[in-house]
Amino acid sequence: MYIHIPFCKQACHYCDFHFSTNLSYMDDMVNVINSELVQRADYLPISQPIHTIYFGGGTPSLLSTRQLESILNTITKHYRLEISELTVETNPDDLKRDKLRDLKSLGFDRLSIGIQSFQEEILKFYNRAHNAQESIKAIGLAKEAGFEKLSIDLIYGFPSKNHEIWEKDLTIALSQDPGHISSYCLTVEPQTALGSWVEKGKFEPASDDFAATQFEMMLEKLTASGYIQYEISNFGKEGEFAVHNTNYWMGVPYLGIGPSAHSFDGRSRGANVASNHAYIRGIKSGAPIFTTEEMSTEDLVNEFIMTGLRTIWGVDLGLLIQEFQIDLLAMKSSMIDQLRSEQMIEKKDQSIVLTGKGRLLADSIASALFI
């Protein structure tokens, strides 16, 4: 289960996720999220218990203990639960001792901390609400509060004359030893401040080669420190992989609650309206807030290929035959042979797995293997 909390203190210049900086109606939003939880309790089969819950956003750590507890109580009352991981996304500036104590008491056992960079000038450019010192302090306080499962987010690909900034970020991140690191390339999205600056010629993004070099630096340094790249953008020490995100990549059905949240029942996917006010009005009035897209066998297979290739486990060819009666080796034999000869993929047991070289071109390789 994914719960989208669509509020932030301020807008980061690169972010195009759905959120609002108007915090005046957070109570109202929590109430309608609870209503949607009740209304959609039959979306997933009762035979399938909820194993992971992830509070994302936006900034879920903006919610009060009372508001978070209200949502968790509704989930407990209306869903069959066998929880193995309960995650909340947080910003460093929210992680004070009392907040961490309360999150722990509510049952959260994993924190995803949106650090992005440990460099003051970069944080100011991104318009983050925290500073570099708060990032380091938040990790220390989280460990002190007893959180054994931590993940930090970092952004690479910020344009500069050399790779010194990224080198520093990686060094500091590893010195904090969070156990899990998610890292994404700085991407220019159209409806953002960054997109506007690029359009006006006020900002020039880094070249693909520059970003690729930083990706390779990250891979080398994190691997040397005992981190496993179990998904293209995710690195974890043994036993510290994100269970929730891994389930997404494995095609496990999920329910998304809140404005803009997505759901997948195994055969179709859907999305809630990406407007706070339309979402609140719809839930209160009974108007539809959820649109569904039926997926063809082709859609399901291609998604299976795309997500599988991004992971350390690759695309299970036997499972493709079992679930969809698709023999990819036969159907794409010449392309698979070409990719193997170019050392982009390799075959491990009954799976196709990307090589280190192939991970830099994951999307195009997946596209070449689509049916």
228 and 104 share one domain: yes
Q: Report pLDDT digits (tens) over 120-148.
A: 999 999 999 999 999 999 999 999 999 99
In this structure, the answer to whether residues 223 and 353 fall within a common structural domain is no
Q: Write down the pLDDT at residue 77.
A: 97
Higher pLDDT, 45 or 274: 274
Can you tell me the mean pLDDT for 143-162?
97
| CA distance linking residue 149 with residue 111, whole number of Å | 7
Would you say 219 and 229 are in contact if contact means Cβ atoms under 8 Å apart? yes
Q: Do 336 and 211 fall within a single domain?
A: no
pLDDT band at 284 (very low <50, low <70, confident <90, very high): very high
Question: Tokens 């795309």 belong to which residue?
Answer: 306
For residues 11, 16, 19 and 22, what is the CA-based torsion angle, rounded to 10 degrees? 30
Q: Does 202 lie in the same domain as 132?
A: yes
The answer on pLDDT for 360 being more than 90 is no
Which residues have C-beta within 8 Å of that of residue 41, sequence separation ≥ 6?
Answer: 78, 79
Q: What pLDDT band is residue 46 in, cutting at 50, 70 and 90?
A: confident
Confidence of residue 193 (pLDDT cuts 50, 70, 90): very high
Residue 356 located in a structural domain: yes
Residue 360 DSSP one-character state: T
Q: d(Cα 143, Cα 325) in Å, to the nearest integer?
A: 47
Cα–Cα distance for residue pair 281/275, rounded to 1 Å: 10
List C-alpha distances in Å: 330 to 65, 300, 319, 333, 335: 55, 18, 15, 5, 10
Q: How many CA atoms lie within 13 A of 53 on its CB side?
A: 24
Quick one: 217 exposed, middle or buried, by C-beta within 10 A (0-12, 13-18, 19+)?
A: middle
- The reported pLDDT for the residue numbered 52 is 98
For residues 50 and 245, the answer to whether their CB atoms sit within 8 Å is: no
Strand ranges across the sheet with 315-316: 315-316, 351-354, 345-348
pLDDT band at 48 (very low <50, low <70, confident <90, very high): confident
What pairing do the DSSP bridges indicate for beta strands 180-185 and 234-236? antiparallel
Q: Which CATH number fits the domain that encloses residue 350?
A: 1.10.10.920
Whether 47 has a pLDDT exceeding 90, the answer reads no
User: Is pLDDT above 90 for 237?
Assistant: yes
The mean per-residue pLDDT over the stretch 33-50 comes to 93
- Given a cut of 90, whether residue 45 has pLDDT beyond it is no
Question: 340 lies in which domain range?
Answer: 297-369
What is the per-residue DSSP string for 185-211? E----TTSHHHHHHHTTS--PPPHHHH
CB atoms within 10 A of CB 129: 17
Q: Do the beta carbons of residue 23 and residue 277 sit within 8 Å? A: no
Average pLDDT over residues 13-40: 96
DSSP codes, 287-316: ---EEEEEPPHHHHHHHHHHHHHTBTT-EE
State the CATH number of the domain containing residue 145: 3.20.20.70
Q: Dump pLDDT digits (tens) for 298-345.
A: 999 999 999 999 999 999 999 999 999 999 999 999 999 999 999 999
Same domain, 193 and 118: yes
Distances (CA, A) of 359 to 39, 297, 368: 41, 26, 14
Cis previous bond, 58, omega within 30: yes
**By the 8 A CB rule, do 354 and 345 touch?**
yes
Over residues 193-219, the mean pLDDT reads 95
Asked if the structure places residue 166 within a domain, the reply is: yes
Give yes or no for residue 171 having a pLDDT over 90.
yes
What average pLDDT does this structure show over 280-298?
96
Q: Give, in degrees to the nearest 5, the angle at Cα 243 between 299 and 135.
A: 115
Q: Are 139 and 113 in contact (CB under 8 A)?
A: yes
Same domain? 161 vs 76: yes
Identify which has the larger pLDDT, 47 or 24.
24
Q: According to the model, what pLDDT value does residue 81 have?
A: 96
Answer whether residue 245 is part of any domain.
yes
Note whether 186 and 108 are same-domain residues: yes
pLDDT at 138: 97
Residue 358 lies in a domain: yes
Q: What are the structure tokens assigned to 304, written together?
A: 């299976």
pLDDT in tens, 83-97: 999 999 999 999 999
Confirm whether 238 is domain-assigned: yes
Q: What is the pTM of this model?
A: 0.95
Are residues 358 and 228 located together in one domain of the fold? Answer: no
Indicate the number of domains in the chain.
Answer: 2
Task: Report the alpha-carbon distance of residue 313 to residue 161 in Å, rounded.
Answer: 37
Distance between CA 222 and CA 179 in Å, rounded?
A: 10
Burial of 198 (0-12, 13-18, 19+ CB in 10 A): middle
> Do 7 and 70 share a domain, yes or no?
yes
How many CA within 13 A on the CB side of residue 311?
A: 21
